[in-house]
Structure 1
Amino acid sequence: MLTMDDLVSRVRTAVSAIPTGTIATYGDVAELVGCHARQVGRIMAAEGADLPWWRVTNVRGELPAHLLPAARARWDDEGIPFVPDAPGARIASCRADPSAWVARLPREFPTGG
């Protein structure tokens, strides 16, 4: 069983490895580290300010409204397409490729819990 410190460490490592210009969902991160999407969201809210948080969205590519202005600026810098009058990115065209993402993780990273 994972301790909370282990889980936080795994989430932080996984999010740090999401390739520039791509997005992963909370569920994608959860599947990789072995937890639930809501846990990823809570960890990101509490521990993710120094991470590329704009690369982690819900399954529709959306983020909370208060994060959108900063996220859109980051998405624009990285070439992540977003829906102009909607709260999210066009995730279908920029979702992180699992193999490219996993290849960026440390060799000893335990995937899947």
Structure 2
Amino acid sequence: MKYVYLGLAIASELIGSSCLQASKQFTKLVPSVITVIAFISCFYFLSFALKSIPLGVAYSIWAGLGIVCTALISVFIFKQSLDAPACIGIGFIVVGVIIMNLFSSSVSH
């Protein structure tokens, strides 16, 4: 269940970040309200994940996957572009999360 909560935290963060972009600096009401609700939900679910996942591990997965997925959303939804260094950096983030989950004794499975 701990990874379900972490997944919900990541999903909520992605919704919040996407709606933050759509809110046009909080000038559009509906995306602004969704942003606030999504970020509150994000930290609520993250707090449940932290009951059984170490902070460093949970935050690394949450932030890493959030960065990768937000970058993909920015490309496919908001039609923004990523250059080669950005793609390489995102690749390093993915590899780091994979290494941590496969080889670290800090990760509780």
The TM-score normalised by the length of structure 1 is: 0.27
Higher helix share: 2
- Structure number, greater radius of gyration: 2
The TM-score normalised by the length of structure 2 is: 0.27
